[in-house]
Structure 1
Amino acid sequence: MASIENITLDVADTEAAELFYSTAFGLDTQIRLRASEAPTTGFRGFTLALTVAQPSTVNALIEAALDAGATTLKPAAKSFWGYSGVVQAPDGTIWKIATSAKKDTGPATKQIDEIVLLLGVADVIASKRFYVGQGLGVEKSFGRVYVEFAVGSSPVKLALYRRRALAKDLGLPPEGTGSHRVAICGEGVPFTDPDGFAWEATSPAAAPS
């Protein structure tokens, strides 16, 4: 399974979640939804990151998300790496909107350049080895801290980060139990990674209702 076709989020109310994602971020085929009441508490161990061109676009997307019902976890602010903010969707999924730019170079838009699924893992090296064994190629690697995989023409990139470091970056305690409430969908044989994240073969069952 060398690419991600979409990310499936398990949500309590598919209609409400579909409205949120189309209104807030303009997402369609990249994010699928399915009804689920699987128990989950605390940090679910992942975030979806939207990479954009400039700070005004970060602000525009965060404002749209808040207007659509999201809550703020970390207000947008400058950092060493650029400019970013974190919000939580009504279904509980955490979204980070970020840019490496620190100044605007044009008018504000809501254009998303890249979607990254960032998994918080217990052991970056072990998880990297596991995914290489599943056929994914490494695009960037920073030792035990961060790994990003090459996923070809996939609409969603995959990256790994230490779970505690990811939770801290999002402004959350790292503890959490129960379902991740996310599935990674693409072609190939289904499997589950060392941290319990499930990969599923793409099927019509993953589509929004």
Structure 2
Amino acid sequence: MLFKQLLLPFLAATVSAQSTVYLIRHGEKPADGSNGLTAQGQQRAQCLRTVFGASSSYDIGYIIAEQPKASQSSSSLPSPTNDVLTGYAGGARTRPLMTVQPLANDLGLTVDTSCDRDDQNCVADLVDGFEGGGNILICWEHDNLSDIVKALGDKNPPDYPDDSFNIIWTDPSPYNTITATASEDCPGLDSS
């Protein structure tokens, strides 16, 4: 009995420590810098339902996106009874959440938006504290993805290209290097 009491927490820690982190940029944004996603960005959000969906090999069990800012007209955060983006409609920093929300809905997951855009240590803490099953998907602004990878443990993270919206970085435990870079290969958006 004592053996089981000691073994179970160890196994749980081992499972969480072995999760792979996948990092992506939000979908395409308006050229004028306004909030939200373009039609192409919305198309990408729908494509991610297939790329990272339940039938994919990514086995996503946890999704993290940067914390949106509430709109000027609404300071209330969304409740479980309304659409998750309602309190943020028209607000800034909504692109990452808008990009992964359709996937999260399909997988029955709640997107963790507890970390501010510039708080990469918060993201690293969430990854380190994840005890669920499956892998972790992080969706953020491209300028901050390298900082997140560095906070996870990579001493020399790559830069996410300014002109790309389709790149998937793979960062397996112990999170000290990006081991693979792939394309989301969204039809009509990405050339293979």
Q: Higher strand proportion, which one?
A: 1
TM-score by length of 2: 0.32
TM-score by length of 1: 0.30
Q: Higher helix proportion, which one?
A: 2
* Larger Rg belongs to: 2
